[in-house]
Structure 1
Amino acid sequence: MRPQTTDLGSHPAAASVPPPAGPAPAGHEGPGPRRVKHGDGRLAAALLSPTFAVLALVIAFPIVVAVWDSLHRTSEELDADGLVVQAERFSGVSNYTALLTGDRFLTALWNTTFFTATTVVIETLVGLAMALLMQRAFRGRALFRASVLVPWAIPTAISALLWRWIFSADGVANAVLGREILWTADGGAAKLAVIVADTWKTAPFVALLVLAGLQLIPDEVYEAARVDGAGAWDRLVHITLPLVKPTLLVAVMFRMMDSLRMFDLPQVLVGTRKPSVETLSQLAWDDAMNLRYGPAAATASLLFLYIALAAFVFVRLLGADIIGKDER
């Protein structure tokens, strides 16, 4: 008789048999967490040290210097020979107190907030519409996509000069409207001119980012929605916007931070010391040009805190994934 054999690999109890004890083969790592070898931390620190040094030089050092200058005030004094010299004295928080109680700073703060809120909302809507249009297949789509890049590629100062010519007293805007409006003087017309120029300049940036997010949505999702009877509006609200939301939030985040530090567009388009359009960046620049380095540094420090606080609130409330969290 042939001896009867049993196939342990197919037996139900075979899966519960523990593996034989003993050291694992060389080069084989178990299922547990990988052990950090001795010296890996030092190697990582050595490799990252140039990056940390550059960040400290270009980010941390200017912030520390700005805060230090904001606590001092430059004054003119007479030296022992009777000559006028500039001296720097510690003034504490007097620069901040003078700013927060001054009308010019509060007006610049309001203008900065107003421009940020209006331009970001308008640019988001216009950029989303442009991205939806660029995604469609139509004759001349490549030319349309290339033309969208033109405003974004033009430097902001050059763009401001172009719009200054358009909004001049005898410019294209007044010729089209048939009225003589002083767009670059002051008042509400100057505000509108800045909003129009900024929207034309930076709405393509939002459109390009949103277009990149739209191209990641599979066509099968829209086909299934059409089969289920979903119309164009339903597909936009229930499919496009939820799936493109992460990209859209990142675009809005970048535009918000860029608008809060707006300087060159109103500076070139309208000019300096215009209460209707003066921003915090313009105020800091004007103080620095007039050798008021303490107030200028204080304004820059408050603007930095404002941008950081706005970014923190934006991320916390809307949940924008800026750093790309790992979902594992």
Structure 2
Amino acid sequence: MPRPGTTHAKRYRKGIGKARRALAVLLVSPTLTVIALVVGYPVIAAIGDSVHAESTSLDASGFVRRTEEFVGLRHYRDILTGPASRRFWNAFTNTTFFTVSTVVLEALLGVVLALAMHHTLRGRGIVRAGILIPWAVPTVVSAVLWQWIFQADGIANDLIGREVLWTTDAFPAQFAVIVVDTWKTAPFVGLLVLAGLQLIPVEIYEAARVDGASHWQQFIRVTLPLVRPVLLLAVLFRLLDALRMFDLPYVLIGPRKDAVETLTMVAFDESVNSRYGVAAAYAILLFCYVAAVVFVFIRILRVDVLGLHAPVRAPRPRRSGPRRRRRKHHNAGPGEGR
């Protein structure tokens, strides 16, 4: 038999839980509404545009009339296997190549910059400001600056002692894009890794030194495992940015260059030429590509996007001196337990 008041208490707790859930939904609903308007509506509109094509015809009065015709998946078929497939797969390859190469280099260089900013004792503010300046410069300004450096009579050719056409449609153009993007965004990765380094307690390194660990062993077995969540999050941010690369190759090299043309550049070129259905199809394919890469990255490496892992805490110091002996609560004899 349930005790008196038990049913009433359960109903009360259940009602409190429902009220809290309703309050949570009410508080989150404005944010969800803004996200739905800012993100959801453009995606739905792009999907609608990708299955339509504009057609022009003459009406009875002889005026040009533009109408939208439903074409289904024709744009996607043309892009993937049709006449436009060569350009799409070339842009897809360039996008993937730039993403992998730049993100790997930026992650390695970012860790080095973070260690330099973290361990610098004198002039720490000047060092950090100098490292972060490239990241603060707008991308278009950086592209124009490096365009002067990569000119035929620029500094780059003077340093290597030979004339290389860096801004032409060949591998030197790809190399130039990789160099500029790494120079600009590696400080961003370094800044995030620096924040992770500053959260590592000093006591952990002291314990590692007491155990005889060298500097390299401290870096491999202490620093890297503890900054791994922050580093993976920085790499994820850079993946999202690199897959949408547009302004840097567009300004540094130029449009319609097969060596550096990315998916975003192709979609922009199609929209400029008033082929909005094809441009929307390119945008949707890029959206699916980015979503798939991020999903695989998060599931395989288990990136803590929401920050649910507990922060690193320093070990509690042990008490010095003899421990108190606990008394045993049992039937002791007359001379025991005293």
Superposition TM-score tier, normalisation by shorter sequence = 0.7 to 0.9
Q: Of 208, 216, 222, which residue of structure 2 is paired with 1:225?
A: 208
Equivalences for 1:122-137 in 2 at 5 Å? Answer: 122-137=105-120
Residue 36 of structure 1 aligns to a residue whose secondary structure is: helix
Deviation at 1:136, TM superposition (A): 0.6
Letter in 2 for 1:69: D
Match in the other structure for 2:324:
none
TM-score, normalising length: structure 1: 0.87
1:215 corresponds to: 198
**Shift, 1:47, TM fit:** 3.0
Secondary structure in 1 aligned to 2:16? Answer: coil
Following the alignment from structure 2 to structure 1, what is the Cα–Cα distance between the partners of residues 108 and 191? 13
The answer on 1:156 being equivalent to 2:136 is no
Per-residue CA deviations over 1:51-110 (Å, capped at 9, x if unaligned) read 222111101000000000000112222222223333211110010011112100000000
User: Corresponding residue for 1:18?
Assistant: none
SS in 2 for 1:241: helix
Q: Partner of 2:40 in structure 1?
A: 60
Matched, 1:247 2:230: yes
Return the letter of the residue paired with 1:65.
A
Q: For 2:217 and 2:28, how far apart are their aligned partners in 1? A: 49
Does 136-145 or 104-113 show the bigger shift?
A: 136-145
**Structure 2 SS opposite 1:291:** coil
Q: Please say which of residues 309-318 and 161-170 is displaced more in the overlay.
A: 161-170
Shift in alpha-carbon separation, 1:218–1:33, aligned structure 2, 3 A: farther
Distance 2:13 2:228 in 1: 35
Name the residue aligned to 1:84: 64
Letter in structure 1 aligned against 2:130? S
1:90-169 matches, within 5 Å, as: 90-101=70-81, 102-169=85-152
Q: Distance in 1 between matches of 2:4 and 2:67?
A: 77
- Root-mean-square deviation (Å): 2.1
Q: Deviations over 1:158-190 (max 9, x none)?
A: 111111111111211112222211111111000
Give the alignment's TM-score, normalised by structure 2: 0.85
1:232 shift after superposition: 1.0
1:18-69 CA-to-partner distances (Å, cap 9, x unmatched) read xxx8879xxxx99x97852664444443333322221111010000000000
Q: Aligned pair in 2 of structure 1 residues 173, 317: CA closer, same or farther (>3 Å)?
A: same
C-alpha distance in 1 between matches for 2:258 and 2:230:
35
Pairing of 1:260-271 with structure 2 (within 5 A): 260-271=243-254
| Residue from 307, 313, 319 that aligns with 1:324 | 307
State the one-letter code of the partner of 2:137: I
Shift of 1:250: 0.2
Counterpart among 242, 245, 263 of residue 259 in structure 1? 242
Supply the distance in 2 between the matched residues of 1:323 and 1:305 (Cα, whole angstroms). 22
Structure 2 residue runs without a partner (length 5+): 311-338
Residues in 2 aligned to 1:148 and 1:137: alpha-carbon distance in whole angstroms: 12
Mapping of 1:2-81 within 5 angstroms? Answer: 36=16, 39-81=19-61
1:195-214 alpha-carbon deviations (Å, 9 max, x no partner):
00000110000000000001
Corresponding position of 1:13: none
SS in 2 for 1:216: coil
Q: Give the total of aligned pairs.
A: 302
Q: Distance in 2 between matches of 1:236 and 1:326?
A: 21
Residue in structure 1 matching 2:181, options 198, 207, 213: 198
SS class of match (2:69) = strand
How far apart, in 1, do the equivalents of 2:13 and 2:230 lie?
34
Alignment match of 1:304 (pick from 245, 263, 287): 287
Structure 1 CA distance for aligned equivalents of residues 15 and 225 of structure 2: 40
Q: Equivalents in 2 of 1:252, 1:227: separation in Å?
A: 33
Tell me which residue corresponds to 2:335. none
Q: Quick one: distance in 1 between partners of 2:88 and 2:269?
A: 12
- Give the aligned residue type for 1:80: A
SS at match of 2:270: helix
Structure 1: which 5+ runs fail to align?
A: 1-20
